[in-house]
Amino acid sequence: MSTSVSFESLGLPEELIRGIYARGYNDPSPIQQKSIPHIGDKDVIIQAPSGNGKTAAFGIGILKNIDMNKVGPKIGPQAIILAPTRKLAEQISNEIKCLGTYLKSDKNKTERKSGFRRKTDNGLKISISIGKRNLRENIRELENGVHIVIGTPGRVHDMIYNRKKLITKNVRILCLDEADEMLDFGFLDCVEEIYMNISDATKENSSTFNTLLFSATLNKKVLELTESFMNNPYKHILPKEDVTLKGILQYYIPFYDVTEKTYRRRRRNRKEIEEINQNKFDCLMDIFKCCSLGKLIIFTNQNKTADWLYNKFMKNELMAEAVTINHSNMDDDLKNKNYDDFLKDKKRILISSDINARGIDIQKIELVINFEIPKNKDVYVHRIGRSGRFGRKGKSLSLIGGTNEMRLLNNIKDYYKCEISSFNIEDL
């Protein structure tokens, strides 16, 4: 007997279901089945592997709770979604706009039935409140009224406390995407103050709100922190062995390290680091000559390493046209252009720092290469999660420059109880 779950069985509005199907979803993923029914009724903590539809899960859950008629000046949004980066906030906004394409206010429905149309848009209204965005446009959107605010903690905090343009009395849902990073020390104070403002404002308005936490990785420290502000949440927490994305085949290549016998006694000098990196680069070139690879991302730990690697590729006539770069020290316009070139398949290799390790959804990435092993175990999981999206098979390859990086990789294997095999060219 079939026990399949459909979007219709989740009790969603007809207009929202229409947007879901138009977006290309056929059936809810397991994480969407688990989370959507609870959103709006209680606090929710969801941990799920990258590429399993987390954004659509909280997006659909939030949209089903939006009152389309409740929007306008001095009303404020009904939901606030916080993300750690501008790019991720923009991606979330695009997804929710698509899902909510057919949601309309009753006024708009009445006008359509009567055959009388106004130029005013009575559909879903979203404000992207992120740093570097034009401040006047951002303020004008909030003053005119929106259903949902999606932004980074700094800009949202500024709009609430300094500009006093973001009214929170009618907020019903606060969602933290990439929750483990949002509750880290870099964002924690900002997020806490946003939370307290919403809590105080909704109490004055004799109403309540729910908090949603979504991430591929949630450590013990973050889960302990949630006990201080979440009320009996619905939890879906993964066992460690399920966090490293079972659909992704993980490999490594060890290299001879000139500092292998001495790295514990002193730091590597520039010459030694360049020799290690040159060995890794030469290995990549050998792989690219032997294998016909599609889209891939090469992650580095530092921006300067990404620049070094990019310049190496640019000197190779065969590879120069295929490669682009993206990291936090670049000009925003160039960063966005390079990212779009990779997204639109104008370039097939992206050299990146960890600004693209979390949440970014780029389809058809066949391989993720760790040019350097990240020191944070969770970053490794987020990096390799850029491949193998939505049930597809993916592959990751880590280049090990010596015993120190081998130790980091072994720590990842032991912690997550995952298999990372020695690489053979046939594996690609």
pLDDT single digits (tens) 225-272: 999 999 999 999 988 777 766 778 999 999 855 445 544 444 667 788
Spatial separation of the C-alpha atoms in residues 175 and 82, rounded to whole Å: 6
For residue 371, give both structure tokens. Answer: 């040019």
Percent of the chain exceeding pLDDT 70 equals 91
Q: Kindly report the backbone phi and psi dihedral angles of residue 111, in degrees, each rounded to the nearest multiple of 5, phi listed first.
A: -65, -35
Helix pair angle (86-99, 14-22), 10° resolution: 120
Tell me, letter by letter, the H, E, C secondary structure of 48-92. CCCCCCHHHHHHHHHHCCCCCCCCCCCCCCCEEEECCCHHHHHHH
Task: Count CA atoms within 13 Å of residue 391 on its CB side.
Answer: 5
Q: Which residues partner with 236 through β-bridges?
A: 46
For residue 191, give both structure tokens. Answer: 């997020």
Tell me, letter by letter, the H, E, C secondary structure of 370-385. ECCCCCCHHHHHHHHC
pLDDT at 87 over 70: yes
Q: Which residues partner with 299 through β-bridges?
A: 352, 370
152 burial level (CB within 10 Å; 0-12, 13-18, 19+): buried
Spatial separation of the C-alpha atoms in residues 307 and 263, rounded to whole Å: 24
Q: Quick one: pLDDT band at residue 393, thresholds 50, 70, 90?
A: confident
Spatial separation of the C-alpha atoms in residues 77 and 142, rounded to whole Å: 8
The reply to whether domains 8-238 and 243-427 share a CATH topology is yes
Residue 220: how many other CB atoms lie within 10 Å: 7
246-278 burial: b if 16+ Cβ within 10 Å, else e: ebbbbbbbbbebbbeeebeeeebeeebbebbbe
Spatial separation of the C-alpha atoms in residues 137 and 133, rounded to whole Å: 8
Q: Quick one: pLDDT band at residue 120, thresholds 50, 70, 90?
A: low
> In terms of Cα–Cα distance, which of 240, 181, 287 is closest to 416?
240
Average pLDDT of the chain, as a whole number: 90
- Give Cα separations from 411 to 309, 381, 417 (angstroms): 26, 13, 10
pLDDT digits over 184-233, tens only?
878 999 999 999 999 999 999 999 999 999 998 998 889 999 999 999 99
Could you tell me which residue, 119 or 398, shows the higher pLDDT? 398
pTM: 0.85
| CATH assignment, 243-427 | 3.40.50.300
User: Under a CB-based contact definition with an 8 Å cutoff, are residues 93 and 63 in contact?
Assistant: no
Question: Is residue 215 left, alpha or beta, with left meaning phi > 0 and alpha meaning psi from -120 to 50?
Answer: beta
pLDDT at res. 265: 43
Spatial separation of the C-alpha atoms in residues 165 and 142, rounded to whole Å: 6
**What mean pLDDT comes out for the span 370-383?**
94
Name the CATH architecture for the domain at 8-238. Answer: 3-Layer(aba) Sandwich (3.40)
Domain ranges for the chain, please list them: 8-238, 243-427
Sequence-distant (6+) residues with CB within 8 A of 58 are 35, 39, 46, 81, 175, 177, 212, 214
> In terms of Cα–Cα distance, which of 118, 155, 123 is closest to 138?
155
pLDDT at res. 1: 37
Length of the chain: 428
Tokens 């990096």 belong to residue: 383
Helices (H) and strands (E) in the chain, counts: 16, 14
